[in-house]
Amino acid sequence: VQVLESGGGLVQPGGSLRLSCAASGFTFNSYAMSWVRQAPGKGLEWVSGISGPGGDTYYADSVKGRFIISRDNSKNTVYLQMRSLRADDTAVYYCARETATYYGPEDYWGQGTLVTVSS
Amino acid sequence: EIVLTQSPGTLSLSPGDGATLSCRASQTINYNYLAWYQQKPGQAPRLLIYGVSSRATGIPDRFSGSGSGTDFTLTISRLEPEDFAVYYCQQYGGSQAFGPGTKVDIK
């Protein structure tokens, strides 16, 4: 099982960024996927999750209305579209596989991609 | 939204000691959807325990979880050098939440 994030970088406040997460080594559409972030020197914060088929999505209050999670099961890829970015969105963003199709903890994690929101 | 608190914030122990980490939820966690993770500097988190007390694949049996309702515990029976890290509890099931973490460092 492998999970590989990409798309991080430096973006100005108010800007947008799309993160991608390519997965391999398992039946992708059978597993929910999540994004979890970690600000520098801080703890883990769950951001968003999506069910295996893609019909159910969940968001933390801190990103609701600004971030959109989606997945393309034909490409084994999950995305996080981030808009109206703020300084406090600066973090390493981890993509992770959940242990079940709908609900589960995260058992496989990528190494993370750094998003820096700064002018 | 469930809020998780963890105590203590830091635990200073020696190799061979036992460790008891606490996690408290602001409301009852349904279906035992409570997990524990270990994170070392510069690494992604590692799933240790799910469903309150089930060990994830490859996790040694010195790690155990217990609890119910709103109060949960991670116990490390005898600390190995590689166990010094930060530990997070997590509520999952649709929306999720992590606790603030407990750092276990070397005394």
pLDDT tens readout for residues A4-23: 999 999 999 999 999 999 99
Q: Is the pLDDT of residue A74 over 90?
A: yes
Contacts of A107 in chain B (CB under 8 A): 47, 56-57
Query: CB within 8 A of A41, min separation 6: which ones?
Result: none
CB-CB contact of A10 with A116 (8 Å): yes
Cβ contact (<8 Å) for B47 and A106? yes
Nearest CA in chain B to A45: B98
Q: Does A55 contact B at CB distance below 8 Å? A: no
**Residues of chain A above pLDDT 90, percent:** 99
CB contact under 8 A, A94 and B45: yes
d(CA B49, CA B55): 5
> What does the pLDDT read at residue A6?
98
| Dist. CA A75–CA A104, nearest whole Å | 22
Q: Model confidence over A77-115: pLDDT tens digits?
A: 999 999 999 999 999 999 999 999 998 999 999 999 999
Mean pLDDT computed over B58-65? 98
Give the pLDDT confidence score for residue A103 in this predicted structure: 87
Tokens of A92: 């390493």
Cβ of B92 within 8 Å of Cβ of A104? The answer is: yes
Average model confidence (pLDDT) across chain B: 97
